[in-house]
């Protein structure tokens, strides 16, 4: 890897290769991905966490204390 890092980095950053798994002592040690792919993964993870939180909150929703979207918008006009 040391001798060919520049070439491998170019493969990943150009999109020729989506990722590169780096091994140490025959075990996966790290993954090299381009910045765009990394940001896309972070964005997707954030979206999934927000969706999970919404699902969890829906299960304990108290219909008696909820405010409609229209009422909420009227409060802030």
Instruction: Give a yes or no: residue 71 inside a domain.
Output: no
Structural domains of the chain, count: 1
Residue 27 phi, psi dihedral angles, 5° rounding: -125, 140
- Per-residue pLDDT of 10-65, as tens digits, reads 999 898 999 999 999 999 999 999 999 999 999 999 999 999 999 998 888 888 88
Instruction: Give a yes or no: residue 69 inside a domain.
Output: no
Instruction: Give a yes or no: residue 38 inside a domain.
Output: yes
Instruction: Give a yes or no: residue 15 inside a domain.
Output: yes
Instruction: Give a yes or no: residue 46 inside a domain.
Output: yes
Instruction: Give a yes or no: residue 72 inside a domain.
Output: no
Domain extent, residue 37, equals: 5-61
**Are 9 and 32 spatial neighbours (Cβ–Cβ below 8 Å)?**
yes
User: What is the reported pLDDT for 1?
Assistant: 66
């Amino acid at each position: 890897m040391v001798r060919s890092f520049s070439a491998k980095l170019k493969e990943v950053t150009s999109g020729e290769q989506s990722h590169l798994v780096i091994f140490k002592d025959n075990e996966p040690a790290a993954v090299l991905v381009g910045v765009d792919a990394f940001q896309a993964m972070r964005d997707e993870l954030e979206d999934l966490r927000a969706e999970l939180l919404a699902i969890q909150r829906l299960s304990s929703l108290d219909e008696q204390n909820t405010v409609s979207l229209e009422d909420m918008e009227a409060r802030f006009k």
